[in-house]
Structure 1
Amino acid sequence: MATVRFNAHGRTWDVEVPVGTTLLGASKRADAPEGDACGGVCGCSTCHVYVVKGRDLLSDAEEDEEDILDKAFDVRANSRLGCQARIDKDGEVEVEITRESLDAFYNEHPQVPDPRKAR
């Protein structure tokens, strides 16, 4: 099992998942606000995250993922698409959900209050 921690807007979500789970799959199990406009088929960049810890526990990025990341906002050396980054080893992974992904999630789920907006 792997432990994944998601960070966004000052909050954290922790979840244990089996090896083989994608970061997007883990975020859904944790109810973390990671976007997935294409349904997790590497067709957009709305599941863009930054891997803060445990990058060596994840699958390598393939060409399709790198092509889609070229279209993402604020891409960094630790950027991954949650739908493509699969957990290959037991351990701890820490992920920061990007603004792009948060925007997509709250647009896709208007019933979920966006804590970044003043009430």
Structure 2
Amino acid sequence: MTQIIVLPHLELCPDGAVIEAEAGKSICDNLLANEIELDHACEMSCACTTCHVIVREGFASLEEASEIEEDLLDKAWGLEPNSRLGCQAIVSDTPLVVEIPKYSINMAKEGHRK
């Protein structure tokens, strides 16, 4: 198992979390399995940006993003150089520190969160 530290997010994970993640599964799958409800409007098919995360530590351990993922990330709210789509970033055996942005495009358009 690999450790993922999730930085505090006001609504999804107010106190932050430390989870034991399964290598070979996506960041999104691992967060959902640990009751951190990361948005994933396209059901993890790499068709939206609602599962956008910022990998603060361990970014280099992830496989390179595909061209499709890179194109989608250009539309993500709060894009940073170490941004990834949680559904596409596959966890390895390297610990990660992940930040969930305050908003996603889905949240802003549908007014889910303030």
Confirm or deny: 8 A CA contact 1:35 1:102 kept in the other structure. no
Deviates most, 45-54 or 7-16: 7-16
Once residues 2 and 85 of structure 1 are traced to their aligned partners in structure 2, the CA distance between those partners, rounded to angstroms, is 14
Q: Please list the CA deviations of residues 83-119 of structure 1 after superposition, one character each: whole Å capped at 9, or x if unmatched.
A: 001113x131010001224964xx6xx8xxx7xx6xx
Partner of 1:28: 32
Q: Offset of 1:44 from its aligned partner?
A: 0.5
Work out the number of aligned pairs and report it: 107
CA deviation after TM superposition for structure 1 residue 74, in Å: 1.7
- Structure 1 residues without counterparts, runs of 5 or longer: none
Residue 72 (str. 1) matches residue 76 (str. 2): yes
Q: Which aligned segments of 4 or more residues in structure 1 are displaced greater than 6 angstroms?
A: none
Q: Which has the higher strand share?
A: 1
Give the RMSD, CA atoms, in angstroms.
2.1
Corresponding residue of 1:19 = 23
Query: How far apart are residue 33 of structure 1 and its match?
Result: 3.2
Residue 56 (str. 1) matches residue 60 (str. 2): yes
Identity %: 35
State the TM-score, normalized to the length of structure 1: 0.79
- Residue 19 of structure 1, CA deviation: 1.4
SS in 2 for 1:83: coil
5+ long unaligned stretches in structure 2: none
